[in-house]
Amino acid sequence: MADKPEKRTRMPMPEQDPQVRARNFLEVPTGYTVAMAQEEAARCLQCKKPGCVEGCPVGVDIPGFISLLSKGDLTGAVRNLWSKNALPAVCGRVCPQEIQCEGKCIVGKKGQPVAIGNLERFCADYEREHGTGELPPKQKPTGKKVAVVGSGPSGLTVAGDLIVKGHDVTIFEAFHKAGGVLIYGIPEFRLPKAIVAQEINFLERLGVKIEVNAVVGRTVSLDELFEQGFDAVYVGVGAGLPRFMNIPGENLVGILSANEYLTRANLMKAYQFPKVDTPIPIGKQVVVLGAGNVAMDAARTAMRLGADNVKIVYRRSREEMPARKAEIHHAEEEGIEMFLLTNPTRYLGNDNGRLIGMECLRMELGEPDDSGRRRPVPIKGSEFTIDCDLCIVAVGSGANPLLTSETPDMQLNRWGYVVTEEKTGKTTKKGVWAGGDIVTGAATVILAMGAGRQAADSIHDYLTIGW
């Protein structure tokens, strides 16, 4: 402790060696030790008006939990986290902290910000592995029943908030396992499924009921939920409709949406085939279309499944890549190549209808478009071919109409997303709230959780005061 706190650099997170981890499904960062966590915690200046809290969409009391951690009260630290965030082990891992809490950390103005995400993760992991399992206090039962449709990050947040406020909460999930994108989308090496299962189990211990295999819109409608005695419904079904490129040859064997590829790998654990029954195509030469976090996840999964080479093909430049910098860095360390300013124009197949390559055009950046990003323009005559036997399409997703098309009295916008009141998440259908990707389109885990928090507050007001 010779240095003054503000001069110390951030405690690095130990990680598996890139060469080794590129071929296994174990988590990449291996986590802080107690000593590492406390050394990092000591860098926090305990601001009176903390910017970091403003940067957190669910308003975690960051100086508060860090102070408890510094004092060695790890149980206190995790209970402090839980009071604002039911999923700290998840958020510590997958939040883009650089644009949220850590982006507003004062220590970061002249150096590296406090590693808030790593500390949050440490506290949650420590409690899970060594904790007492003591639950946060619950208010007395209100007798009101709330149905939460979808068990992704926003639905879990709503359930966690309302159960401690004394309401009776049931989550309806279409898949056979709860967790939404945390289970089917984000891979094991970034978010171990055992951790997600334990965070969900924490909610169940608090009293949240979870009904899996329940496809709301098919198995049961929203109106039937009200008939069954629910007083309010929260719709958090995500944006699970995969987009394709709509170019010739798209239905060749060997072209999958990232949703399908990742669902097979993560939810169905196809990387263990034939120990499990779900197969997954093993590509030797793999192309991933798109450059968001989902594209990075798909590319890194393909590498771990034994690809010789994996290419990210993206029509814009590195500047515009929507994935987190850390994810791009991890991908490149693992040997994934970036084919930037490149756009596929058609897929090439053999006589058996299997993918063997794709034709692409080189692009250059033109004038900024509506999104403010410079529009990619094809360079004439720049056609070239990339050989590949597996292509994963990760160019975004849209609103799945399965539930909304069965609910005509809930207003949608022209892209099929649910229209809600901004501050509360109220839909145009009485007693129904919505939040997360089904309102905003594909965004982040923590934004979905923020929407869940707002809706939960509004639902609580409705149940205790009125609409």
Binding residues for another protein (CB under 8 A): 174-176, 212-215, 218-220, 240-242, 244, 246, 250-251, 253-254, 256-257, 259-260, 263-264, 268-269, 273-279, 281, 352-353, 400-402
Cβ closest to another protein, residue 13 vs residue 247 = 247
Cβ closest to another protein, residue 31 vs residue 153 = 153
CB of 27 to another protein, least distance (A): 22
Cβ closest to another protein, residue 220 vs residue 377 = 220
CB of 277 to another protein, least distance (A): 4
The whole-angstrom distance between residue 397's C-alpha and the CA centroid of its chain comes to 13
CB of 118 to another protein, least distance (A): 32
Cβ closest to another protein, residue 135 vs residue 212 = 212
Cβ closest to another protein, residue 47 vs residue 241 = 241
Cβ closest to another protein, residue 348 vs residue 402 = 402
CB of 183 to another protein, least distance (A): 12
Question: Which structure tokens are listed for 175?
Answer: 């898949």
Sign of the CA dihedral with 5 first, then 9, 10, and 13 last:
negative
Find, among 425, 96, 401, 90, the residue nearest to 240 by Cα: 401
Q: At 147, phi and psi to the nearest 5? A: -105, 130
Cβ closest to another protein, residue 130 vs residue 284 = 284
Question: What is the 3-class SS of 161-198, one letter each residue?
Answer: HHHHCCCEEEEECCCCCCCCHHHHCCCCCCCCHHHHHH
Sign of the CA dihedral with 423 first, then 427, 433, and 434 last:
negative
CB of 393 to another protein, least distance (A): 9
Question: Which structure tokens are listed for 325?
Answer: 């910098």
Question: Which structure tokens are listed for 170?
Answer: 């049931």
381/399 Cα distance (integer angstroms): 36
CB of 238 to another protein, least distance (A): 8
CB of 286 to another protein, least distance (A): 16
Q: At 210, phi and psi to the nearest 5? A: -125, 120
CB of 264 to another protein, least distance (A): 6
Q: Are strands 374-378 and 355-368 parallel, antiparallel or unpaired?
A: antiparallel
For residue 29, say if its preceding peptide bond is cis, omega within 30 degrees of 0.
no
Residues 6+ apart with CB under 8 A from 251: none
Q: C-alpha distances in angstroms, 444 versus 53, 128, 238, 322, 448? A: 18, 24, 11, 11, 6
Cβ closest to another protein, residue 263 vs residue 293 = 263
CB of 291 to another protein, least distance (A): 20
Q: C-alpha distances in angstroms, 426 versus 8, 217, 435, 465? A: 46, 19, 9, 15
CB of 361 to another protein, least distance (A): 22
Cβ closest to another protein, residue 114 vs residue 262 = 262
In a 3-state reduction of DSSP, which class is residue 321? coil
Provide DSSP, 73-102: -HHHHHHHHHTT-S-HHHHHHHS-GGGTTG
Cβ closest to another protein, residue 14 vs residue 401 = 401
